[in-house]
Amino acid sequence: MTLRSRALPWPAVRLSIRQSVLLSVLLLNGATVAAAADDPCTGGKWDITQEHALFSKAPEAISAGHDLASAPIMKAQKMYELALSPQSGVTFILPPAKKMLADGAFAGLVHMQVPAAGAYRVSLDQGFWIDVVGNQKFIESTDFGGVPGCTAPRKVVIFNLPAGDVVLQLSGAAKDHVRVTLTSAPAAAH
Amino acid sequence: MFALRLLRRRRLRIKYEVGWGARDQLFAWRTGAIVLSLGAASVTARGRLLFWRVGMLFLGAAWVTAPAFGVIHDDSTSISRPSITRTPAAPPADTTPIGTQPFTDHRNPPSYRKLSDAEFARYDLGMAVFNTQFVPAGTPNAGRRAGVGPLFNSSSCDSCHNNGAHGRGPTGDGPAPSPLVIQLAATPTKNPTDPEGDPVYGRVLNTVALDGVPPEGVLMIRYEETPGHYPDGSAWSLRVPRYSLTNLRYGPLSPRTLVKPRLAPALFGVGLLDAAERDTAGRDAPTGHAAALGTAAGDQGRFGWQATALSVQDQTARAFAREMGLTSTDMPNDDCTHAETACLQAPSNGSPEVSADIFSAVLSFQRYLAVPASPTPHPIPDQDANTFADLGCGACHEPRLPVTLTDADGKEVSAVIAPYTDLRLHDLGNRLADETVAGKKVSSKWRTAPLWGLGYRMSLEHFPTFLHDGRARSAEEAILWHDGEAASARTRFEQLPAPQRKAFLRWLDTL
């Protein structure tokens, strides 16, 4: 087996003036490393075309709840910008499943209306911890992903959700706003 | 350091050994015993002598203790804490290894032993810090969370070592996931354990930055499939990575910079590995490595894909500074270079950004973190373990290592762990070697990757990846990438009949 590489037919790259000419051609691991200007939000672990499209639209701004009673409703296939509260003033249904420092963190709760049982993606423009609670129990994620440098979205978590109402708990956020979507996950590639 | 070996018969021999293997030496030193090991040996197809100890005679020992620490799985999720009243003895070779625990909630991984209240408090705080998303210096009320960046790769330990596990590697072409970073090293270097970085980009290509500071670049990956087949005709395919560093903010890297793609390794059991005996007697010296270290005699690196970090503490300080932009007492500078003025001028959270208290808590979490027991029971416990030995895998993936630990009362105890690593560097051939920007292959030696926890990984991950950059999509592919010192073991694996090969791979899932 020969693993020595040959030069790859990478397309010519045109970089902006601001970026200047920043090309570096590397050889490593028997691999050709060539400069290319790629969109960090595409070509990752999953096809996130639908989420990417939603994140390019204007969001509906709502305030996340500081407890279950004040939690608003969020629908699938739509982007929201949630205003979060200082975590010290938020009452969760269940404490966040992951222990973490909460100094100065923001948090909130929101109902998610799930139209039909199945796999769904919860996508955020920032990377921080989320839980989904249904019937007073955590619904464990089945997978997660995200790409550095991409905020549209930055983090994608997949859950198998029952139809009806579940609650999204957001905790440990660095900022007091977060953009979030709930989308159905393609059956073959979630 | 002497041995008397009387070998009788050619294929099956009884070996009498006045034992100065490392473990025997440790035992004898602690007990005053002379150790005679009885066992059987055979010669492999390569002419290598394999020895199986079936019993030990201890001469002159006043007492032989039961295993002081190597206990004892009961119905609880913690191992029992033994009462230690005297100098610990090395455990017998057949002692049950310690370290594994069932992971009933992977978000809340257990310690490998029952902790005292004080220890648990540190473990729990450390886990919380480990999971914490750090925020920029100057964030209001951020307290202990402040200081990430200005340049970094991830803002929490957990985002790469999720729940302490192996980083999720690339699934295919496209941008690299967070747990895969590009480390950069100047060549040649006088400091092989911690070489200088690229003169402009430093020791890690930081792909994320705070507002106002440009990230250093983007790592893109494209794979090419390289097909092959076993002698029995079964097909396999390996994916060869093509790395592309794009949008390099400060121009090209130095041609002499070594580019090292590295996937975040699992942290399970690192405290136990840290506690493994640092013996060298009777074992091959780590190839060209220990001698290069400017550390105390007998010390050697054992963490990181190439054993460049001397301890969990060393490795943690490096990751905080270079991949998260968080300074500590051990590493007071992050990865900004003189060329990166915006990085140098960005606000800091003081020095150090991670307090000694927080840093030590993270170490406590890692040091006590258990190894997940495999959820996969194995129907035939010995047969495929023998295959592992027969193939020669165990020569480097050493099934057992002795450790010296402290129990919850602060007493020193000896035990055995089953990490399937010798913690040493081995040449795995040019196919896995890193290269400089100019294309020169460097450092194809890799620390033997521990195999414990493999079954847990396989049960948890949709797309597990293996080796230093996640190029292998299965343990099988990882084996097929082995070359150099491991070439003959790989060849024997390839020559296994297909049913035996598959059974062996299933057995790996029980580790």
Domains and CATH numbers, chain A: 1-37 (no CATH), 49-184 (2.60.120)
Closest CA to B66 of B46, B83, B44: B83
Q: Which residues of A touch B222 (CB under 8 A)?
A: 8
pLDDT band at residue B148 using 50, 70 and 90 as cut-offs: very high
d(CA B173, CA A39): 12
Position B489, amino acid: A
Higher pLDDT, B491 or B299: B491
Q: Which residues of B touch A17 (CB under 8 A)?
A: none
Asked whether the beta carbons of residue B242 and residue A40 sit closer than 8 angstroms, the reply is: no
Q: Which residues pair with B364 in a beta bridge?
A: none
pLDDT band at residue B81 using 50, 70 and 90 as cut-offs: very low
- B87 pLDDT exceeds 80? no
Q: Is the CB of residue B498 less than 8 Å from the CB of residue B230?
A: yes
B1-64 has which fold? Nuclear Transport Factor 2; Chain: A, (3.10.450)
Asked whether the beta carbons of residue A148 and residue B145 sit closer than 8 angstroms, the reply is: no
Domain boundaries, chain B: 1-64, 117-374+418-508
Two tokens, residue B321: 């500074």
**% of chain A at pLDDT higher than 90:** 65
Q: Which residues of A touch B252 (CB under 8 A)?
A: 22-24
Position A126, amino acid: Q
Rounded to two decimals, the ipTM of the complex is 0.75
Distance from CA of B107 to the nearest CA of A (A): 6
Residue B182's closest chain A neighbor by CA?
A28
d(CA B314, CA B299): 13
* Full-model pTM: 0.79
- B203 pLDDT exceeds 90? yes
DSSP of B337-395: -TT-HHHHHS----SSSS-HHHHHHHHHHHHHBPEEPPS---SSTTHHHHHHHHHTGGG
Q: What residues contact B502, with CB distance under 8 A and at least 6 apart?
A: none
Mean pLDDT of A111-134: 96
Closest CA to B413 of B61, B67, B24: B67
pLDDT at A58: 95
Residue B227's closest chain A neighbor by CA?
A1
pLDDT averaged over chain A?
81
The 10s digit of each residue's pLDDT in B313-363 is 999 999 999 999 999 999 999 999 999 999 999 988 888 999 999 999 999
Closest CA to B264 of B335, B163, B127: B163
DSSP B106: T
The 10s digit of each residue's pLDDT in A71-106 is 999 999 999 999 999 999 999 999 999 999 999 999
Asked whether the beta carbons of residue A43 and residue B174 sit closer than 8 angstroms, the reply is: yes
Asked whether the beta carbons of residue B469 and residue A29 sit closer than 8 angstroms, the reply is: yes
What is the arrangement of strands in the sheet containing B34-43, beginning at the earlier edge strand? B13-18, B34-43, B49-59
- A5 pLDDT exceeds 50? no
By Cβ distance, the residue of A2, A20, A149 closest to B218 is A149
Q: Which residues of A touch B459 (CB under 8 A)?
A: none
Asked whether the beta carbons of residue B432 and residue A99 sit closer than 8 angstroms, the reply is: no
- A115 pLDDT exceeds 50? yes
Mean pLDDT of B228-237: 97
Distance from CA of B154 to the nearest CA of A (A): 8
Q: Omega into B188 within 30° of 0, i.e. cis?
A: yes
**% of chain B at pLDDT higher than 70:** 76
Asked whether the beta carbons of residue B128 and residue A101 sit closer than 8 angstroms, the reply is: yes
Asked whether the beta carbons of residue A97 and residue B108 sit closer than 8 angstroms, the reply is: yes
Position B365, amino acid: F
